[in-house]
């Protein structure tokens, strides 16, 4: 930025100032674009996390049901074996 003194006052080069403002505005615009892009990516990731959490919940429920069914089947088999042993003592 060029400047000079006239009658004891500091006079700034207007063209240099305008150029610097234009440069600053350009950088700010780029930062705004980057921020918007990051916000969109963040929102997308939050949606993906929610989707994965829902899928995990569904799978956990399925595993829980399988374990309950397995326990029920085991219990029924044990009861049947016990009845067989009662009717056919060794």
Distance, in Å, from the CA atom of 47 to the CA atom of 83, rounded to the nearest integer, reads 54
pLDDT digits 0-9 by tens, 38-47: 999 999 999 9
pLDDT confidence bin for 16, thresholds 50/70/90? confident
Backbone φ/ψ region at 8: left (φ over 0), alpha (ψ -120 to 50), beta: left
Yes or no: say if 35 and 44 are a contact pair by the CB < 8 Å rule. no
Mean model confidence pLDDT for the chain: 89
Share of the chain above pLDDT 90, in %: 72
User: What SS3 state is found at 8?
Assistant: coil
Q: Taking Cα atoms as reference points, which of 12, 61, 41, 87 lies closest to residue 4?
A: 12
Q: What is the pLDDT of residue 72?
A: 97
Q: What is the pLDDT of residue 9?
A: 52
pLDDT digits 0-9 by tens, 55-89: 999 999 999 999 999 999 999 999 999 999 988 76
**Can you read off the two tokens belonging to residue 36?**
């918007």
DSSP E strand boundaries for 1-90: 3-6, 9-12
């Amino acid at each position: 930025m060029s400047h000079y003194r006239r009658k004891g006052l500091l006079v700034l080069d207007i063209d240099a100032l305008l150029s610097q403002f234009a440069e600053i505005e350009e950088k700010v615009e780029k930062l705004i674009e980057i921020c918007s892009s990051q916000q969109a990516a963040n929102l997308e990731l939050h949606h993906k996390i929610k989707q994965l959490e829902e899928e995990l919940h569904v799978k956990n429920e399925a595993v829980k049901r399988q374990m309950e069914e397995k326990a029920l089947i085991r219990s029924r088999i044990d009861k049947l074996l016990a009845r067989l042993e009662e009717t056919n003592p060794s």
